Copies of this chain bind each other. A is one copy, B any other.
Amino acid sequence: MSITREAYRDGMARLAAAVNVITTDGPAGRGGFTASAVCSVTDAPPTLLVCLHLSSRQNDFLRGNGVLCVNTLAAGQSQIATLFSTRDLTMDQRFAVGEWLTMATGAPVLEGAQVAFDCRIVERLERGTHAIIICQVEQVRMGDHPDALVYYGRGYRRLGQKD
């Protein structure tokens, strides 16, 4: 027994998540895309995972470079999230907005991100239509912005009061 894709997607639209721009650079070229499917695995050693559809051209960049940076966006940065999730745009068009630095791995780090996790890819598992990309975190950069951007109900929201 299982449910339809639509029922699953409607359910997942209710799982609030941080908004991240995943970037990479190296011999395979510069890539970047918006993702909410990012999750901490363990702090020993510091490890996170990112899920990505197998049909995405971003897989080639990530496999060729072996590194990525998870740039977690701050409130007010939904425009960047939209840029990096607009299918028609080239990588140059996506990276035209914002100031980009590098840290340990060479993957682009967004100046002003809420936090950035600079990572080396250590494992790639394929399950169904998606890759689960497991990454070891080599550097973390904390931004100055006080609050987060959240993806919920298929739209971008700011945080509100304490519960």
- Which A residues lie at the B interface, using CB under 8 A? 1-3, 5, 7-12, 14-18, 20, 37-49, 51, 72, 75-78, 104, 114-115, 117, 123, 125, 127-130, 132, 134, 136-140, 142, 148-150, 152, 155-163
Cβ B149 vs Cβ A157 within 8 A: no
Cβ A140 vs Cβ B10 within 8 A: yes
Q: Within 8 Å CB of A17, what residues of B?
A: 16-18
Q: Within 8 Å CB of A104, what residues of B?
A: 1
Majority-rule SS of A interface residues? strand
Cβ A129 vs Cβ B42 within 8 A: yes
A152 to B163, CA, bound (A): 11
Cβ B3 vs Cβ A42 within 8 A: no
A43 to B129, CA, bound (A): 8
Cβ B72 vs Cβ A51 within 8 A: no
Cβ A45 vs Cβ B160 within 8 A: no
